[in-house]
Structure 1
Amino acid sequence: MQIDFLGMQAFLSIVENGGFQPAAVQLNLSQTAISHRIRKLEEGLGVRLIARTTRELTLTDAGRALLPRVRGAIRELEGSYDTLRQHRSSAPQWLTFACLPTLATSHIPNVLKRFATVYPDIAVRMFDNSIAEIAELVDSESAAFGISVNAPTRFNLAIERFTQEPFALVCPLGHRLLEREVVRWDDLIDETLVRISLHAGNSTTIDDALGNRRMQYRWGYETQHTGAAIDFVRAGLGLTVVPCLAATSYPGVVALPLVEPQITRCLATVMRPETLLVPAATALCEMIIEDIGNRLTAFNAWQRPASTDKAHA
């Protein structure tokens, strides 16, 4: 499906400026061109957006429904454009990389502290973005490299896997399942689970692994982000399933191995093909990979914390 951005821009300008003529002035177009853009947008959507008479201009029901979405989309695009333009002007002063939010929130700061001891004069910019956004940032040279998952993209990028990260069950302290060293999916049939919405990508991985079995579970809550889901767990609303490294540093919860099936995601570096990183970028990338490997080793050798044992005493 093609998105008619020019038509949406014209639609928003007409509404905000109160007519076709002032919109044409704002966009530096002729009134005929503005009319053509609106007509093309309406034809593409199959609905009338603006009711026009000789004396006034009003929005149809479809136009009123579309307006806030178009306004939000245009404003977000304008903000992204300004951000990238400003970044371009200052990019040579920074070492920039992109990383999945579930890895960035708790593990990257410790790596950057170590990196700063070796390269104290280098400023670092991190984009904590989605899989698709990481690929776009690397392809556009806005980021030297990305830490993402081994997934196809629409860009010609070099994706090199470096480890498998298992998903884990996140429980609050004192939960009955903490008596077990390993939890099976069948053990969760009677539990309330917190789901993370599909846009994050991890829910799709879980759904694909479970197949029709996913309908057996009670998904009582849904959030947009992993951190919010873990906050729900900490509040006692339910349990959640996330990549294990996303949960190991949150206070008040414990991440348990979850098997039958064991679900994993493949972590990978993302770079432009045949690109040689500067030494500092190579060092940072290697430090991140090493840190992730060490933390996965610690999780796989999991032992219940002493605080958890006390909760059962």
Structure 2
Amino acid sequence: MKLTLRQIEIFQAVVEQGNFSRAAERLNTTQPSLSQAIRDLEDALGARLFDRTTRRVDLTEAGRAFAASALSGLGAIERAVSNVRDLSTLRGGRIRIAAPPLLAATALPRFVRRAARAHPGLQIQIADVGTDAILDRVRSGQAEIGIGTFHPAEDGLQSTSILQDSLMVFMPENHPLAAQPVLNWRALRDLPIATLTRESGIRLLVDVGFESARQPLRPAFEAHQIFTLLSLVEAGQAVAVLPAYSQAALYGRAVAVRPLTDPVISRDVSVIRARDRSAPPAVQALLPLLRTTLREMVEEVLTGG
């Protein structure tokens, strides 16, 4: 006969109450049912667990030996159940997010603050890494979700678009082209261009823009970080084509930003997660908040709010 969790719970109640009647009352059962459960447990173990008198119930030597292990095991099971329930109700658990450095520095702190207010027991970890590293972390399980611009058919990944923005041109405030409200790609011909490296999904879109306008792209500078490109622009060394949300990183820099047309290049910012792993409750619950936070940031930078 296999022992059941219910038998262990009944044994614990008798030990703690020292009385069969009080134990039955605590468990909302009848005393005969409880007594039978203890007899079944003793039969299964082949040993008497309690010495019963009219006044009290005491553990036998076998009972004490059984209690030493069984009750600690029951406590471990109860803690495990509690931990799982905490995960499902977001009173505990962890969510790891891999995101590009710019989003990690601008939008995610706001998201973390809001998530912490709503779910103070939830732990949020952020890895500010490049596109390839984001993909690797999500595929390997080092991150539950990744944020960025990705190829729509990445192997093993499920992608959900959370916002869309367009490429814009960033230039020094005193640049001659800053007098124009809108620019086309042809206006960038022969200008020193600062771009992200080819590991970035944004760089691929910049290549598409120049190719569509039939303009050659010969970058004067390449960098891994948008912050570096903005510093080069502010120093008057180049102009850069970057997504609209990059304005969130200007922080009062002397940089002008203008829309690019002919063609307008838009892109999706998406959340990715591994296709073969179920999403933790925290991911399912916090995705709407993440989407709202990112959209608010883009709207604010576009409207100057």
Q: TM-score, normalised by structure 1?
A: 0.59
1:214 Cα offset (Å): 6.2
Contact 2:95 2:125 in 1 (8 A): yes
Partner of 2:236: 236
RMSD, aligned α-carbons? 2.7
Partner of 1:112: 112
Deviations 1:201-240 (A, max 9, x none): 3222211232275654663333232211111011111211
Give the length in aligned residue pairs: 212
Contact 1:189 1:218 in 2 (8 A): no
Counterpart AA for 2:149: V
Q: 1:266 to 1:212 in 2, by over 3 A?
A: closer
Deviations 1:54-75 (A, max 9, x none): xxxxxxxxxxxxxxxxxxxxxx
The answer on 1:272 being equivalent to 2:274 is: yes
Alpha-carbon distance in 2 for matches of 1:109, 1:254: 25
Q: 1:161 to 1:150 in 2, by over 3 A?
A: farther
Taking only the aligned residue pairs, the percentage that are identical comes to 21
Q: 1:166 to 1:212 in 2, by over 3 A?
A: closer
Alpha-carbon distance in 1 for matches of 2:247, 2:236: 16
Contact 2:97 2:127 in 1 (8 A): yes
Partner of 2:225: 225
1:169 Cα offset (Å): 1.0
Partner of 2:211: 211
Q: 1:172 to 1:97 in 2, by over 3 A?
A: same
Partner of 1:292: 294
Structure 2: runs of 5 or more not aligned: 1-91
Alpha-carbon distance in 1 for matches of 2:219, 2:146: 32
Partner of 1:51: none
Q: 1:181 to 1:299 in 2, by over 3 A?
A: farther
Contact 2:99 2:128 in 1 (8 A): yes
Contact 2:210 2:216 in 1 (8 A): no
Alpha-carbon distance in 2 for matches of 1:98, 1:196: 19
Contact 2:132 2:199 in 1 (8 A): no
Contact 2:247 2:301 in 1 (8 A): no
- Aligned counterparts, 1:40-79, within 5 A: none
1:275 Cα offset (Å): 4.8
Contact 1:162 1:269 in 2 (8 A): yes
Partner-residue secondary structure (3-state), 1:289: helix
Q: TM-score, normalised by structure 2?
A: 0.61
The answer on 1:260 being equivalent to 2:268 is: no
Q: 1:294 to 1:113 in 2, by over 3 A?
A: same
The answer on 1:249 being equivalent to 2:220 is: no
Contact 2:168 2:242 in 1 (8 A): yes
Counterpart AA for 2:105: T
- Aligned counterparts, 1:158-237, within 5 A: 158-211=158-211, 213=213, 215-216=215-216, 219-237=219-237
Alpha-carbon distance in 2 for matches of 1:223, 1:134: 18
Q: Please identify runs of 4+ aligned residues in structure 1 that moved more than 6 A.
A: none
Deviations 1:9-62 (A, max 9, x none): xxxxxxxxxxxxxxxxxxxxxxxxxxxxxxxxxxxxxxxxxxxxxxxxxxxxxx
Alpha-carbon distance in 2 for matches of 1:262, 1:213: 10
Counterpart AA for 1:101: P
Partner of 1:148: 148
Q: 1:182 to 1:107 in 2, by over 3 A?
A: same
Contact 2:212 2:263 in 1 (8 A): no
Contact 1:135 1:153 in 2 (8 A): no
Partner of 1:98: 98
Counterpart AA for 1:199: E
Deviations 1:236-295 (A, max 9, x none): 112111112123331312332211111222221212237553443334332221122223
1:93 Cα offset (Å): 5.9
Q: 1:109 to 1:194 in 2, by over 3 A?
A: same
